[in-house]
Chain A
């Protein structure tokens, strides 16, 4: 799997959009970008994933640059419950691509 680079920590004011960047400059054509988060003392939680098109679900939006070398996870209206460590993971599709390699992630603190 390609390596990813994320900032160690970020702050966001409650109610504002949280934009979490991720660099994955060595990503391959068949590799997806996945985002998970881990709230303190809980198991990781799937947020969203995408290949090359922007994706949106009830939790967040994922913006992937045209060259696919970086992406941004957007939480449109951050709440205190969004305080967590956010992991950007690159993973190939298909059989044999089960591995989720968690790095150190970005610790997002939502400030009241």
Chain B
């Protein structure tokens, strides 16, 4: 298996623009997680899905953030409109049941 795949790896955008981050989990995994990492706050869980259904989105910072999982092999995290404080590395992770989580390589987002 190729592991968790994220795209793009780097994204630079201007404030106010819409940003869409993509994730393909490991085949067969039933949990998918979105994290954000910054120097100030470390790694934070934003939202997680079980069998494509959002279970807990309490970590999503604002209404500007939304996440979807239309099928078992694809998820998106959208920021609209983006702001400079959204600059961070966004990680997607997947797991089978609630065992160890496998993380993707991350998307480094820079909002200018």
Contact = CB atoms under 8 A, between A and B. Distances in A.
Q: Range of interface residues on chain B?
A: 10 to 19
Contacts of A34: 100
What does DSSP make chain B's interface, helix, strand, loop or mixed?
strand
What does DSSP make chain A's interface, helix, strand, loop or mixed?
loop
Interface stretch (B13-21, B42-50, B64-72, B79-87): B42-50
B43 A44 contact: yes
B44 to A, nearest CB: 8
Nearest to A99: B45
B57 interface: no
Contacts, number: 38
Interface of A: 34, 41-46, 49, 93-95, 97-100, 102-104
7 contacts: A42-B106, A44-B91, A46-B102, A97-B98, A98-B55, A99-B45, A104-B42
Given A43-B91, A98-B56, 15 more contacts: A34-B100, A42-B106, A43-B103, A43-B105, A44-B43, A44-B93, A44-B101, A45-B103, A46-B100, A95-B98, A98-B33, A98-B48, A99-B45, A102-B42, A103-B42
